[in-house]
């Protein structure tokens, strides 16, 4: 142990110390963001080792993301030094599950070199299974089966455990049979999917109690971070493992539970106290991360949730800067303001690594990334590819690249059979041979090939269709706006349809990205200029080690902290998400609010929210209204800055507190407007109904609104 680590306990407050020093028996730390839960876990590991209670390999520590695992390794490294005795088992549920399964693979019918299928392979396999069962794959697509099966696995249900009613609901009662068939196929392939990594451990342990007991004895101390986001399978896994020694310490925050849509169950927190009676429950109330204003804003917001265990948080930090709310005319201006603010922080010598931009959906990233590239601001996207590197965007790009340049073979090959059009590997090989022989590009070779009888009739017909489409699209580019052509291409090729038919959870996001993609083209004079821009963005090199702004979704930000956090896109319909607003119950909205709370609490010193008055929604410009979450922030902690004069309807909301925007949503007369404007600057604020208790007033066209208070004149298209 390093000498400085000996003092590791000194920095802790009494409650934290209790959580660290209660080494025996179950411990549950239920505490808010930034109260040092993760710190308690890392210190606990150091403590167990320093006091000789455990050697590193007696310890199992579960984190939620690989990033968190790395960070924890780093923190532990700092406490116990480059571990001479090796590191504890430390990683995500999946990583640890894999490690265990590899050792006992043969007992669950696998070989130890089993492969873990990625989503793509998983889907391909499901498709085969569906076809094998003579089910119409169009009606019951592989993705929705995937979603259903993942759901069962998240709940710890193997094929034989699925409640009959649920198995009935899929594909006219064939859900159960499909699940069984899928598992059998996996076994034949010596493969597993992500869900299996835990499910098969459960099976292994249930069928071989001696092996379970081995692990129970081995992992004498178990620690779990972000406990609120465990799903049932993970919970069962933990419970089995911890049952014997019961030295299990879980830390979590019900107000940060944001994976309900992926099967996480907050109830696991309540279950813990039930399954581990006598658990020492520690509550931490001092937040060490954020300034007073940030904490007040976050606490005020989350207080609006009904279903929560409830807790208080305090800080001894100074109030600091108020949380700022900036309204922008549209999302482009929002991105511009964001860039300016970051540059200004940079000039003041703030480190870019201490700045994060957290978005609700990945489609928001495109405009921000473009702006960063223009400004030459180095950035990284955490937890996902950069916008133009996403699969659906690369596919769309490939179509455009072939249209612009018929000799782009790489692009052609990418979309040759995407969406599926019966052009399999055999056809591609024939085509390659043809192209090589004549030394011509694949598209040109296709044109020749369809005039021969080398291909089966069906493949020939399909290929002819593709060739003719590309000729047609190339002509369109000559005389139509290129973004419209792109739209046409995506539709005629069946690409958009492919995602529309898709029932998986991420399909909606991909469609959203595609729309954003088409819309981004409008900013360029022609297709060539657009494609050049994209290749520049894609090249913007990731200089290793350099300081960079972090860009990620709110979901990916859990557990992290930054000095400055930008939170763009706080508009109803985007955040909270429309799906949550459409839902009848409160559950969806409350999960969105927790997500907002996670976002705010990532900030140490500065939290900067923004919204755009106009944003494209489903391809049409819509005037939006600021997120209801903004209204819910306590007035004292928030500053409305740079509210543009053209942000008009809201102007009346800036006077007369109690909330930064006045009592708008508390006022029954306030009507939400989701008005659609014809064009970006044409219809200014749209034609919806925006009004207050005095009776809604109609706003239309180029308008000058009647002032309801202070400066609230519309300035039309002024920017
Ligand atoms: P989250 O819920 O967001 O995951 P958390 O409860 O895990 O937050 P940590 O990340 O462990 O909180 O701690 C937040 C910050 O406060 C960290 O920078 C940590 O080093 C610091 N911190 C925690 N406890 C103390 C303490 N006793 N003294 C000083 N700083 C502390
Ligand atoms: Mg944490």
pLDDT tens, position by position, 120-167: 678 878 888 888 888 888 888 888 898 899 999 999 999 999 998 888
Report the nearest-CA residue for atom 27 of ligand 1. 12
User: Range with the lowest mean pLDDT among 307-321, 455-469, 656-670, 698-712?
Assistant: 698-712
Does the pLDDT value for residue 327 go beyond 60? yes
Decide whether any atom of ligand 1 lies within 6 Å of the 253 Cβ.
yes
Decide whether any atom of ligand 1 lies within 6 Å of the 39 Cβ.
yes
Report the nearest-CA residue for atom 2 of ligand 1. 33
Annotated ligand binding at 31? The verdict is yes
**CA distances in angstroms from 157 to 5, 163, 184, 264, 267, listed in the order given:** 44, 9, 16, 14, 18
Most confident of 126-135, 191-200, 686-695: 191-200
Does the pLDDT value for residue 436 go beyond 60? yes
Judge residue 53's burial from the number of C-beta atoms within 10 Å of its C-beta, 0-12 exposed, 13-18 middle, 19 or more buried.
middle
User: Range with the lowest mean pLDDT among 12-21, 234-243, 271-280, 490-499?
Assistant: 271-280
* Residue listed under structure tokens 């928001």: 364
Does the pLDDT value for residue 698 go beyond 90? no
Does the pLDDT value for residue 111 go beyond 70? yes
What is residue 682's predicted lDDT score, i.e. its pLDDT? 28
Which is higher by pLDDT, 687 or 316?
A: 316
Atom of ligand 1 nearest to the CA of 31: 6
Range 169-187 average pLDDT = 88
Range 505-519 average pLDDT = 85
Q: How far is the CA of 597 from the centre of ligand 2 (A)?
A: 14
Annotated ligand binding at 32? The verdict is yes
Decide whether any atom of ligand 1 lies within 6 Å of the 42 Cβ.
no
Contacts of 691 by beta carbon, 8 Å cutoff, 6+ apart: 669, 670, 671, 697
Please state the separation of Cα 175 from the chain's center in Å. 28
State which of 31, 36, 43, 597 you would mutate to test the pocket of ligand 1, scoring each by most atoms of that ligand within 8 A of its C-beta: 36
Report the nearest-CA residue for atom 19 of ligand 1. 36
What is residue 577's predicted lDDT score, i.e. its pLDDT? 92
Q: How far is the CA of 647 from the centre of ligand 2 (A)?
A: 38
Q: How far is the CA of 289 from the centre of ligand 1 (A)?
A: 6
Q: How far is the CA of 605 from the centre of ligand 1 (A)?
A: 14
Question: Over the chain, what is the mean pLDDT?
Answer: 82
358/714 Cα distance (integer angstroms): 30
DSSP 221-247: EEEESSGGG-BHHHHHHHHHHHTTT--
Decide whether any atom of ligand 1 lies within 6 Å of the 12 Cβ.
yes
* Residue listed under structure tokens 């480059």: 82
What is residue 164's predicted lDDT score, i.e. its pLDDT? 85
Report the nearest-CA residue for atom 21 of ligand 1. 288
Q: How far is the CA of 282 from the centre of ligand 1 (A)?
A: 15
Decide whether any atom of ligand 1 lies within 6 Å of the 258 Cβ.
no
State which of 289, 558, 596 you would mutate to test the pocket of ligand 1, scoring each by most atoms of that ligand within 8 A of its C-beta: 289
What is residue 470's predicted lDDT score, i.e. its pLDDT? 96
What is residue 704's predicted lDDT score, i.e. its pLDDT? 25
- CB atoms under 10 Å from CB of 719, counted, come to 12
Annotated ligand binding at 73? The verdict is no
- CB atoms under 10 Å from CB of 633, counted, come to 26
Q: How far is the CA of 17 from the centre of ligand 1 (A)?
A: 13
Decide whether any atom of ligand 1 lies within 6 Å of the 599 Cβ.
no
User: Is the peptide bond preceding residue 67 cis, with omega within 30 degrees of 0?
Assistant: no
Decide whether any atom of ligand 1 lies within 6 Å of the 315 Cβ.
no
Where does 268-399 show beta strands of DSSP type E?
280-284, 286-287, 314-315, 323-330, 355-359, 379-381
Range 661-672 average pLDDT = 30
Atom of ligand 1 nearest to the CA of 256: 2
Decide whether any atom of ligand 1 lies within 6 Å of the 36 Cβ.
yes
Q: Is the dihedral of CA 353, 354, 355, 357 positive or negative?
A: positive
| pLDDT category of residue 196 using cuts at 50, 70 and 90 | very high
Decide whether any atom of ligand 1 lies within 6 Å of the 37 Cβ.
yes
Range 32-46 average pLDDT = 92
Residue 638: both structure tokens together: 């928030």
What is residue 68's predicted lDDT score, i.e. its pLDDT? 67
**270-280: b (≥16 Cβ within 10 Å) or e:** eebeebbeebe
Range 463-484 average pLDDT = 94
Which is higher by pLDDT, 650 or 149?
A: 149
Ligand closest to Cα of 256 equals 1
State which of 10, 34, 72 you would mutate to test the pocket of ligand 1, scoring each by most atoms of that ligand within 8 A of its C-beta: 34
- Is the ipTM of this structure higher than 0.90? yes
Tell me the catalytic residues: 37-38, 225-226, 256, 602
Decide whether any atom of ligand 1 lies within 6 Å of the 33 Cβ.
yes
Residue 422: both structure tokens together: 């019966």
CA atoms within 13 A on the CB side of 128: 11
Does the pLDDT value for residue 71 go beyond 80? no
State which of 29, 38, 229 you would mutate to test the pocket of ligand 1, scoring each by most atoms of that ligand within 8 A of its C-beta: 38
User: Range with the lowest mean pLDDT among 164-173, 557-566, 694-703?
Assistant: 694-703
Q: How far is the CA of 12 from the centre of ligand 1 (A)?
A: 10
Atom of ligand 1 nearest to the CA of 559: 4
Does the pLDDT value for residue 633 go beyond 70? yes
**640-658: b (≥16 Cβ within 10 Å) or e:** beebbebbbbbbbbbeeee
Report which of 498, 545, 555, 491 is spatially closest to residue 518, judged by C-alpha positions: 491
Does the pLDDT value for residue 608 go beyond 70? yes
The answer to whether 326 touches 364, Cβ cutoff 8 Å, is no
Decide whether any atom of ligand 1 lies within 6 Å of the 268 Cβ.
no
Annotated ligand binding at 636? The verdict is no
The pLDDT tens digits of the residues spanning 386-401 come to 677 788 998 999 999 8
Report the nearest-CA residue for atom 15 of ligand 1. 289
| pLDDT category of residue 644 using cuts at 50, 70 and 90 | low
User: Range with the lowest mean pLDDT among 26-35, 51-60, 351-360, 531-540?
Assistant: 531-540
Annotated ligand binding at 36? The verdict is yes
The pTM score is 0.73
Decide whether any atom of ligand 1 lies within 6 Å of the 38 Cβ.
yes
| pLDDT category of residue 507 using cuts at 50, 70 and 90 | confident
Between strands 695-698 and 689-692, the pairing is antiparallel
Q: How far is the CA of 290 from the centre of ligand 2 (A)?
A: 14
288/605 Cα distance (integer angstroms): 11
Does the pLDDT value for residue 646 go beyond 50? no
User: Is the peptide bond preceding residue 576 cis, with omega within 30 degrees of 0?
Assistant: yes
The pLDDT tens digits of the residues spanning 341-374 come to 999 999 999 999 999 999 999 889 989 999 998 8
Q: How far is the CA of 41 from the centre of ligand 1 (A)?
A: 10
What is residue 519's predicted lDDT score, i.e. its pLDDT? 86
């Amino acid at each position: 142990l390093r000498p400085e680590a000996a003092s590791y306990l000194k920095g802790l407050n009494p409650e934290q110390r209790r959580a660290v020093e209660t080494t025996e028996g179950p411990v549950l730390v239920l505490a808010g963001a930034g109260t040092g839960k993760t710190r308690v876990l890392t210190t606990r590991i150091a403590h167990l080792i320093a006091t000789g209670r455990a050697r590193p390999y007696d310890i199992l520590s579960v984190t939620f993301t690989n990033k968190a695992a790395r960070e924890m390794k780093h923190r532990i490294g700092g406490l116990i030094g480059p571990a001479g005795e090796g590191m504890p088992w430390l990683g995500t549920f999946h990583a640890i599950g894999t490690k265990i399964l590899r050792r006992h693979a043969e007992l669950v019918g696998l070989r130890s070199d089993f492969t873990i299928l990625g989503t793509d392979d998983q889907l391909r396999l499901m498709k085969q299974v569906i076809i094998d069962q003579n089910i119409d794959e169009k009606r019951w697509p592989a993705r929705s089966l995937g979603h259903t099966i993942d759901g069962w696995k998240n709940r710890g249900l193997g094929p034989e455990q699925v409640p009959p009613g649920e198995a009935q609901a899929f594909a006219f009662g064939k859900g159960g049979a499909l699940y069984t068939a899928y598992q059998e196929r996996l076994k034949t392939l010596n493969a597993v999917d992500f869900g299996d990594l835990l499910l098969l451990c459960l099976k292994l342990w249930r069928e071989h109690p001696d092996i379970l007991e081995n692990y129970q004895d081995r992992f004498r101390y178990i620690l779990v971070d972000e406990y609120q986001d465990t799903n049932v399978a993970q919970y069962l896994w933990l419970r089995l493992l911890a049952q014997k020694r019961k030295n299990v310490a879980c830390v979590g925050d019900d107000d940060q539970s944001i994976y309900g849509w992926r099967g996480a169950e907050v109830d696991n927190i309540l279950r813990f106290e039930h399954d581990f009676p006598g658990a020492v429950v520690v509550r931490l109330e001092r937040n060490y991360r954020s300034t007073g204003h940030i904490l007040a804003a976050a606490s005020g917001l989350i207080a609006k949730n009904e279903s929560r265990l409830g807790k208080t948080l305090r800080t001894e930090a100074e109030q600091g800067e108020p949380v700022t709310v900036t309204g922008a005319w549209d999302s482009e201006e929002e991105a511009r303001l964001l860039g300016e603010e970051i540059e200004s922080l940079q000039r003041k010598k703030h480190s870019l690594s201490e700045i994060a931009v957290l978005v609700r959906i990945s489609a928001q990233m495109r405009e921000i990334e473009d702006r960063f590239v223009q400004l030459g601001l180095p950035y990284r996207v955490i937890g996902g590819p950069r916008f133009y590197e996403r699969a659906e965007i690369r596919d769309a790009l490939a179509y455009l690249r072939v249209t612009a340049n018929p000799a782009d073979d790489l692009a052609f090959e990418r979309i040759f059979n995407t969406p599926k059009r019966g052009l399999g590997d055999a056809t591609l090989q024939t085509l390659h041979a043809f192209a090589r022989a004549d030394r011509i590009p694949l598209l040109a070779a296709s044109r020749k090939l369809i005039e021969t009888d080398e291909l089966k009739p069906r493949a020939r017909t399909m290929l002819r269709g593709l060739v003719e489409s590309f000729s047609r699209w190339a002509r369109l580019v000559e005389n139509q706006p290129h973004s419209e052509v792109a739209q046409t291409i995506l539709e005629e090729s069946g690409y958009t349809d492919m995602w529309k038919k898709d029932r998986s959870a991420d399909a909606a996001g991909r469609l959203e990205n595609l729309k954003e993609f088409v819309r981004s083209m409008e900013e360029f004079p022609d297709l060539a200029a657009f494609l050049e821009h994209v290749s520049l963005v894609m090249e913007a090199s990731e200089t290793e080690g350099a300081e960079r702004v972090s860009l990620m979704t709110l979901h990916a930000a859990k557990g992290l902290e930054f000095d400055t956090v930008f939170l763009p896109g706080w508009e109803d319909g985007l955040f909270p998400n429309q799906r949550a607003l459409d839902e009848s119950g409160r559950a969806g909205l409350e999960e969105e609010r927790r997500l907002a709370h996670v976002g705010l609490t990532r900030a140490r010193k500065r939290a900067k929210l923004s919204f755009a008055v106009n944003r494209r929604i489903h391809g049409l410009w819509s005037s939006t209204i600021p997120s209801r979450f903004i209204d819910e922030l306590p007035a004292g902690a928030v500053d409305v800055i740079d509210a543009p004069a053209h942000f008009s309807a809201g102007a009346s909301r800036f006077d007369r507190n109690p909330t930064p925007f006045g009592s708008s949503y508390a006022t029954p007369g306030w009507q939400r407007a989701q008005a659609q404007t014809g064009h970006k600057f044409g219809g200014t604020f749209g034609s919806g109904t925006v009004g207050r208790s005095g009776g809604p007033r109609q706003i239309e066209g180029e308008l000058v609104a009647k002032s309801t208070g202070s400066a609230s004149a519309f300035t039309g298209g002024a920017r």
